[in-house]
Amino acid sequence: MLKAIIFDMDGVLIDSIGPIWESFSRVLKDEGIHFSDEYIKKNLARSLRDNLQAWKTEFGTKDHDLMEFSKKAGEIQFELMKKEKVSPSLFNLLLEFKKNGIICAVATSSLRWRAEKILDLLNIKSFFRALVTADDIKNHKPAPDVFLEAANKINVKPEECVVIEDAGNGIDAAKNAKMKTIGLITKYHSADELKHADIVIKDFSELNMKKIKKLF
């Protein structure tokens, strides 16, 4: 039985992938680092903590403090995203979930300060009963931890949850948590990458309660 919907954040609730990687490039400009679209697509799934470690090996970047780097990049991101709004189709879907008593939560690889600021920017924080971030877990996607913690916080069994994700490893994480999955196609994630999701959509206008309930 469907009881909860758990949303990934970046790429799902907000089109933030471009601004995120543009901000990384700007912070690392003095070290001569710029990320190609191909590199971005290949490494989208990594958390910032994992990226900072990987960049030292791949590019020889210096040691960066996680929170300091996050704050610098975040300032750039929010300047680039300041006019972003939640899509009408997503907003209508959130209203439909609320009307039908479906609990909603956010589970993201982002740090908490940034996730809270994005939900405030979009003015949708009130729709979500719980927010789980990289600060709350030890193992990141495709490990199931972030989704299991979200289910725990809202007191719902994993098998009663549906996860909406835009990345293949996010779908893997949700499946590892024994949850149903919906894959959202974006510029950076193709239908082929998401084909193992239970449902694949191009836009939230394709989704409704009736379609989701058929998963159960």
> Are 119 and 193 members of one domain?
yes
CATH of the domain at 119: 3.40.50.1000
> Are 136 and 148 members of one domain?
yes
Contact (CB, 8 A) for 198 and 2: no
Residue type, 91: F
The mean pLDDT of 37-59, rounded to a whole number, is 88
Single residue among 80, 104, 125 that ends a domain in this structure: 80
CB count within 10 Å of CB 144 equals 21
Q: What does the alpha-carbon distance between residue 87 and residue 73 come to, in Å, rounded to a whole number? A: 24
Q: pLDDT, tens digit, for every residue of 121-180?
A: 999 999 999 999 999 999 989 999 999 999 999 999 999 999 999 999 999 999 999 999
Which pLDDT score is estimated for 187?
A: 86
Q: pLDDT, tens digit, for every residue of 80-114?
A: 998 889 999 999 999 999 999 999 999 999 999 99
Scored b (16 or more CB within 10 A) or e, 111-138 reads: beebbebbbebbebeebbebbbbbebbe
Which pLDDT score is estimated for 17?
A: 87
> Are 196 and 167 members of one domain?
yes
> Are 73 and 146 members of one domain?
no
> Are 103 and 179 members of one domain?
yes
Which pLDDT score is estimated for 23?
A: 94
Number of structural domains in the chain: 2
> Are 209 and 117 members of one domain?
yes
The mean pLDDT of 33-39, rounded to a whole number, is 89
CB count within 10 Å of CB 203 equals 11
Single residue among 54, 80, 106 that ends a domain in this structure: 80
> Are 108 and 205 members of one domain?
yes
> Are 65 and 98 members of one domain?
no
Is residue 42 scored above 90 in pLDDT?
A: no
Q: pLDDT, tens digit, for every residue of 8-27?
A: 999 999 999 889 999 999 99
**pTM of structure:** 0.89
> Are 75 and 94 members of one domain?
no
> Are 176 and 94 members of one domain?
yes
> Are 9 and 33 members of one domain?
no
Contact (CB, 8 A) for 53 and 106: no
Domain that holds residue 53: 17-80
DSSP code string of 149-196:
HHHHHTT--GGGEEEEESSHHHHHHHHHTT-EEEEE--SSS-TTTTTT
> Are 124 and 183 members of one domain?
yes
Q: Which percentage of the chain shows pLDDT scores above 70?
A: 100
Single residue among 31, 61, 80 that ends a domain in this structure: 80
Which pLDDT score is estimated for 47?
A: 84
